[in-house]
Each structure stands twice: as structure tokens, then as C-alpha cells.
Amino acid sequence: MAAPGWLTPRRRSATARSVLAGEAAAEAARKTSAQLERERAEAEAAAEAAPAEPEFPVVGDTEAAAFFDLDNTVMQGAAIFHFGRGLYKRKFFQRRELARFAWAQVWFRLAGVEDPEHMQEARDSALSIVKGHRVSELMSIGEEIYDEYMADRIWPGTRALAQAHLDAGQKVWLVTAAPVETATIIARRLGLTGALGTVAESVDGVYTGKLVGELLHGPAKAEAVRALAAAEGLDLARCAAYSDSHNDIPMLSLVGHPYAVNPDTKLRRYARDREWRLRDYRTGRKAAKVGIPAAAGVGALAGGTAAALALHRRRR
């Protein structure tokens, strides 16, 4: 017995309109597919025809070099303060000077920027401390201090950038307000070409307690790079410079490839406005905002705190 008609699905024959809609959709699909295929082919052809982004650093370009700031760019913290800690350990000066060094180091870590007043104070302290000592003596001690306080504070990311330039056959120089002797030790330990640093006057190999010129800071760094480039036959437009501090904008502006590394707030803003390349090897939001090397933040504060505790214990 046949089922009632209302239980059986009724087949509806295709109308002329539905046939037309189906055919139109199929034709549109074929055309769209062909168009997409043409676009992919054109994109691939354009990519092959477009010149590849030039390799940087350029291998074999001997008229190019790289200039790296030291403090908080290559190394966490300030070299002069680490050096001061090492000299105190060797009884080069008394507790009062150590307190100044410790406070300046903690301030540098918390602020993440270089302060001219602190830099001046550190310079004056360092000059008074080394006066009358032989250059060779301080160089020997500097090697020990590097192993004790500096070797573990090198930023691996920045170290890799420097190595890329070396692998390309280019010279790599440190440029820092730290004493040139200290900077030279660090450059040698890292396998770099050399260092530009503050030059302390010496007579017959003995420090006089005076500087030759002024602290290598701010515009003085740019002048040092300019003078070295002229002496070395370098094309500054093909050179690179790396720094964390807005104080080094004159040096960064001098080269064709400026990089802001672990930048302070002012340099980050300046670099973004000019589309300079940024590299930040710190971790954590706070580090990104104020420039504290987060990976070493605990160690930094511990260093300053340890110095303060040592002073307190000795007073007691």
C-alpha cells in the first residue's frame, strides 16, 4: 500500500531560474579560480624580479665598521662602577668612595640612563684613585676585575651582533666613557678590534690624575668615531653604530646604520621617529619601560645592597 502523499518528500523539478543560478555560480567560480591563479603567478614573478634585500653587514666591505657603546649596550651596568668595586676589594680606596660607587651603580640600574652628574662624580673619583699608580699595574688588575665582575654581564644578543660584523670581515670598536685601558681589556676579551675610551694622562707610565681633553661622552664619542673613521679610511655611510642611550644620538646619527639597543625612553622615541632599527635583549615590561636589565636586575641590586651591607657590618 502506498504511503500517504504528505509522508513522501516531493521532488521538485529545477526551474529555469535555479538552473541559471547554478550555471552562473559555476562560471564565476572558474573565472575566480583563473584570476587567483594569475595573481599568484604575477606575485611570484615580481618576487623573483625584485632585488633581494642587501645582506647586512656586507661581507668583505672593508670600508665599513661597527661602533658599540659599552654600558648597558654590550654589558649590563657601567664598567667604571664594576672597576671601582674591584679596586676597593684591592684596598685602593676607603669606604666613603665605595659608597659613592655603589650608589651610582644602583641609581644607574634603577634609572636605566646615564646621568652627567653621576658620570662626572665617577670620573673624579676614578682619577683621584689611580693617580700615582702605574698604567701597567692597572691593566693587570683590570684583567682580574673583568673576570670577577664583568664577564658574566655581557649581553649575548649584542655580542652576536658584534660577531656578525667580525664574521663579515669588518672591524668592531667599543666606544665608551670608561677608561680606555678598561675598554681595551673588554674589547680584547670579546675578540673585538679595539676600543675608544676616555684617556687619562700618564707620564713615564704613571697616571697624573688628569684627563687628556674630557670624558668621552655624548658629542665627544661622535668626534672620536669621526676621527677614527678618517684615520682608518672608513665610509661612515656604510658603518653601523649601536647604543642604549639618548646621549649617544650624535654618534648614532653619524653612521648609515644606527641601532638602538636596550634603548632608554628618549632614544626609543627618537629611533622610532626616524625608523632606526631597535634591538632589546632585556625581558619584562618594566625593563622595556625604564631600561632595567631584568635578567640581571636582582644581581644589580644585590651588588649595591651587598656593598651597603658590607659598609654597615664594618661600621658595627
**Which residues are part of the catalytic machinery?**
69, 71
The contacts of residue 282 (CB under 8 Å, 6+ apart) are 262, 288, 291, 292, 293, 294, 295
Separation CA 44–CA 202 (nearest Å): 65
Separation CA 75–CA 72 (nearest Å): 5
H-helix or E-strand spanning residue 293? none
- Grid cell at residue 51: 632585488
Q: How many CB atoms lie within 10 A of CB 284?
A: 12
The DSSP annotation for 168-194 comes to TT-EEEEEEEEEHHHHHHHHHHHT-SE
Distance of CA 255 to the CA centre of its chain: 16
Q: How many CB atoms lie within 10 A of CB 53?
A: 6
Grid cell 681595551 — which residue?
184
Q: How many CB atoms lie within 10 A of CB 126?
A: 25
Separation CA 100–CA 96 (nearest Å): 7
> CA 12, 13, 15, 19 torsion: positive or negative?
positive
H-helix or E-strand spanning residue 40? helix 16-49
Phi (first) and psi of residue 201, to 5 degrees: -70, 140
